[in-house]
């Protein structure tokens, strides 16, 4: 049985990571295991930024966004030498299991550790919600709530000035943030990478809406969409320019950016993080490895990590269709 268990956060930070760290530490202690915090993700693992944690190390963090363990994206860990240094540091501290809190890139790194005899379990945490085998990843709910608050405010100005607002949200290659927040704010159009779209149709919809008496319009754009013209570097500027030129209505662009990654986690994210992290440590306590935990249909489950990483990320097409129906006249 594992006695010393490490925990790290890797990739983009996500609200709820702290709630997961807290649960890993306290669950490990309840199983009479010794928890160790690894700072700055795989970067810190290579540089031996490892510290023993006690219950009070994780006091007062459940409500905080970000990650108290810090996060980083490490290129060095991808090298043979970097991986060896990481494994040697774990061996030096007699840590034989690690809980990895992060996205799919972080999970791939975890598989490399496993090849060197380290037990690993992944906990999905990214605002993008692009990890297969879980309905939601930690941080997504808070991020969409942040977008919803922002667009509620933008809508006040949009209606006062009778303008069109193109709001760009994060998500990397996934349209999930745009889809969920777009549906929740009543966006007039939602552009996501998973569903082909025509900007002419977006413009036509705007024209019809204005003719019917609507005086403003909200277009939510996922950062991962691509536009036909290669010379358009920033997608939301491309969409905004096209709309203004083709409708003649004043258009503004708002890029919400990293504000979506911060903030106190919502109830949903705190509960999800706590439940997933408890399950992750329980698996290690049972001697399991090479798995990721996830929530499907409200139940916490685990999957073989290699299988999970081979699955495709999907979006909820029912939500997409609903948003289209509700935004048509
Ligand atoms: O994966 C989370 C995320 O916020 C993506 O939505 C976004 O594309 C990316 O990270 C931004 O990365 P960085 O913080 O390194 O600019």
Of 172, 222, 223, the one to substitute when testing ligand 1's pocket (max ligand atoms within 8 A of C-beta) is 172
pLDDT of residue 328: 85
pLDDT of residue 231: 54
- Indicate which residue's Cα is closest to atom 13 of ligand 1: 12
The verdict on the CB of residue 128 being under 6 Å from ligand 1 is yes
Residue in 286, 304, 295, 301 with CA at minimum distance from that of residue 97: 286
Element (H, E) at 272: helix 267-285
Per-residue CA distances from 89 to 15, 67, 82, 153, 314 (Å): 28, 22, 11, 49, 37
Tokens of 197: 């779209």
Hey, whose CA ends up nearest to atom 8 of ligand 1? Answer: 172
Q: Which residues, other chains included, contact 96 with Cβ-Cβ below 8 Å and sequence gap of 6+?
A: 2, 3, 4, 90, 117, 118, 119
Taking all residues of the chain, what is their mean pLDDT, rounded to a whole number? 96
Ligand 1 atom closest to residue 258's alpha carbon, by position in its atom list: 4
Q: Quick check: CB of 12 below 6 Å from ligand 1?
A: yes
The H or E element that residue 28 is part of is helix 17-30
pLDDT for 50: 98
Of 128, 141, 188, 269, the catalytic one is 128
How many distinct helices (H) and strands (E) make up the chain? 11, 11
Q: Torsions phi, psi of 160, nearest 5?
A: -65, -40
Q: How far is CA 280 from CA 18, 123, 138, 194, in A?
A: 15, 7, 14, 31
Q: Which ligand 1 atom minimizes the distance to the CA of 261?
A: 4
Element (H, E) at 283: helix 267-285
- Domain 142-261's class? alpha beta
CATH 3.40.50.460 range(s) for the chain read 142-261
* Predicted local distance difference test score (pLDDT) of residue 1: 61
For CATH 3.40.50.450, list the domain ranges present in the chain. Answer: 4-139+265-310
User: Is there a catalytic annotation at residue 128?
Assistant: yes
Which ranges of 64-189 would DSSP assign to H, the alpha helix?
80-92, 104-114, 140-161, 176-185
Which residue, 211, 126, 217, is CA-closest to 167?
217
Separation between Cα atoms, residue 104 and residue 112, nearest integer Å: 13
d(Cα 282, Cα 286) in Å, to the nearest integer? 6
Positions of the chain with pLDDT under 50: none
- 154: Cβ–Cβ under 8 A, 6 or more apart, which residues? 165, 167, 218, 254
Q: What is the largest CA-CA distance in the chain?
A: 71
**Residue-level pLDDT at 117:** 96
The domain made up of 4-139+265-310 has a fold known as Rossmann fold (3.40.50)
Give distance in angstroms: CA of 43 to centre of ligand 1.
18
């Amino acid at each position: 049985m594992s006695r010393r268990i490490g925990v790290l956060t890797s990739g983009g930070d996500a609200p709820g990571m702290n709630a997961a760290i807290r649960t890993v530490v306290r669950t490990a202690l309840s199983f009479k295991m010794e928890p160790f915090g690894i700072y700055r993700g795989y970067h810190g693992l290579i540089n031996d930024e490892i510290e023993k944690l006690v219950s009070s190390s994780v006091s007062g963090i459940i409500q905080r966004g970000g990650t108290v363990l810090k996060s980083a994206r490490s290129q060095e860990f991808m090298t043979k030498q970097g991986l060896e240094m990481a494994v040697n540091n774990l061996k030096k501290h007699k840590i034989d299991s690690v809980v990895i809190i992060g996205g799919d890139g972080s999970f791939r790194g975890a598989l490399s550790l496993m090849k060197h005899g380290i037990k690993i379990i992944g906990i999905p945490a990214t605002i993008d919600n692009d990890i297969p085998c879980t309905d939601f990843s930690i941080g997504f709910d808070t991020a969409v709530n942040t977008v919803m608050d922002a667009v509620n405010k933008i809508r006040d100005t949009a209606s006062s000035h009778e303008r069109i607002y193109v709001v760009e949200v994060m998500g990397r290659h996934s349209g999930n943030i745009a889809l969920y927040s777009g549906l929740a704010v009543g966006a007039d159009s939602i552009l996501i990478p998973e569903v082909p779209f025509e900007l002419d149709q977006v413009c036509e919809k705007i024209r019809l809406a204005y003719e019917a008496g609507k005086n403003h319009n909200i277009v939510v754009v996922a950062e991962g969409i691509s536009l036909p013209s290669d010379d358009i570097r920033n997608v939301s500027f491309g969409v905004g320019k096209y709309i203004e030129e083709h409708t003649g209505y004043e258009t503004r662009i708002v890029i919400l950016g990293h504000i979506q990654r911060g903030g106190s986690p919502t109830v949903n994210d705190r509960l999800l993080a706590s439940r997933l992290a408890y399950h992750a440590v329980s698996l290690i306590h049972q001697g399991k490895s090479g798995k990721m935990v996830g929530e499907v249909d409200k139940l916490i489950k685990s999957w073989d990590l290699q299988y999970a990483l081979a699955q495709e990320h999907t979006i909820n097409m029912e939500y997409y269709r609903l948003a289209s129906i509700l935004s048509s006249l």
